[in-house]
Structure 1
Amino acid sequence: MNKLLVLLLAFPTTFARDSLSNQFIARQGQVTFFSYASFENIEAENNHVLSLIDLDNQKIAISMLMRAFVFKKDLMHEHFNESYIESDMYPKTTFEGSLEKFNIEENGEQTRLINGIITIHGISKEIEVKTTISKSKEAIQLKGEFNLTVNDFNIKIPPILSNNIAKVVLVKFNLNYLPYESN
């Protein structure tokens, strides 16, 4: 009887632990963007990107604070946050989506699509991103790049500066995940 009681008490704990075994977290992912401009190119990097991946459901969520982007010049940082992204009103960007046809049993590199909704500047848009996914027993890495059109997110560029700021921005990401442990 005591052995049965111990087994029943241990089973839910084991089951709960197993349900987390395919959940991973990236606490310091990297997102960069590049905008070609005739006057001066605009580049920024954000190394404080949080992301969760659930391989059982093939779901992914990403969140990042817009003020965490680092620019070469302070004035670019100021204009980005105050004039264009309006970080006080829209402090973060999010993405929620799913991995398409990702084989969780296969270690190594796979190229797959991620489909989902990205929200920038209060505007949500469906996107599809070709992603390289590297999986080992201990970790997962997602890398890729995609283009975003500034007008799609209602980001206003003054006419006087329209020739100096690209209408399409190249976004690159590198997310390194470790197993998620709930404590």
Structure 2
Amino acid sequence: MNKGLLIFCLLLTGTAEAQKYNSTKGSISFLSDALIEDIAAENTAALAILDASSRQLAFSVPVNEFQFEKKLMQAHFNEKYLETEKYPKATFQGSLSDFSMTSKASQQVTAKGKLTIHGVTKDVQIPGTLLIDAKSEIKINAAFVVALKDYNVKIPKLLWENIAEEVNVKIDFTLQPK
């Protein structure tokens, strides 16, 4: 985890000549669509940075900042499933496929890199869109599925109908030039 934080900080402190963008607003949300109930949460405390010249992208998500409709769900999420005292952050470190900094049209991109959740790191490819608006802000949107077993998130047998084995994740970020 410290290695990931170090890399994230290095990305934040790069040279002034690079085309660096960092998040000003954004959210990461998820939906567990299970048989008995849906569980949804949103996190607006995540950070993102993009070095447009090298196409390097990083996210850091304080896991305990996910907000749920029901406080008991939030407590169980933090204590029993994601164990946020032990694993306080989820991160992504990787790069975006080719995109044009001069295009004002929505561009299809793929983020390839390492996603770390619950202390487990996996190689991922996440499809999404990138749009550069008139204010030179970069908007990044993506939707992907996370299999809980891939990240050693255990679902008690008693609750298998309450919690989906795969969770739908959405990312919406607006990044401004640094």
Provide the C-alpha distance between the structure 1 equivalents of 2:58 and 2:142, rounded to a whole number of angstroms: 15
How high is the TM-score relative to the length of structure 1? Answer: 0.85
Opposite residue 39 of structure 1, the aligned amino acid is: I
Q: Does 1:145 align with 2:112?
A: no
Flag structure 1 segments of 5+ consecutive residues without an equivalent: 1-15
CA contact (8 A) 1:27 1:48 kept: no
CA contact (8 A) 1:129 1:144 kept: yes
Query: How many pairs were matched up?
Result: 163
Which of 134, 158, 161 is the matching residue for 1:160? 158
Q: Does 1:113 align with 2:110?
A: yes
How high is the TM-score relative to the length of structure 2? Answer: 0.88
Larger radius of gyration: 1
Provide the C-alpha distance between the structure 1 equivalents of 2:137 and 2:44, rounded to a whole number of angstroms: 18
Provide the C-alpha distance between the structure 2 equivalents of 1:159 and 1:116, rounded to a whole number of angstroms: 32
Q: Deviations over 1:109-140 (max 9, x none)?
A: 10111111100000001111111100135210
Q: Does 1:67 align with 2:67?
A: no
Residue correspondence of structure 1 range 68-147 to structure 2 within 5 A = 68-136=65-133, 138-147=136-145
Identity %: 35
Q: Does 1:57 align with 2:51?
A: no
CA contact (8 A) 2:127 2:143 kept: yes
Provide the C-alpha distance between the structure 2 equivalents of 1:125 and 1:105, rounded to a whole number of angstroms: 32
Provide the C-alpha distance between the structure 1 equivalents of 2:103 and 2:25, rounded to a whole number of angstroms: 25
Provide the C-alpha distance between the structure 2 equivalents of 1:172 and 1:95, rounded to a whole number of angstroms: 14
Provide the C-alpha distance between the structure 2 equivalents of 1:152 and 1:105, rounded to a whole number of angstroms: 38
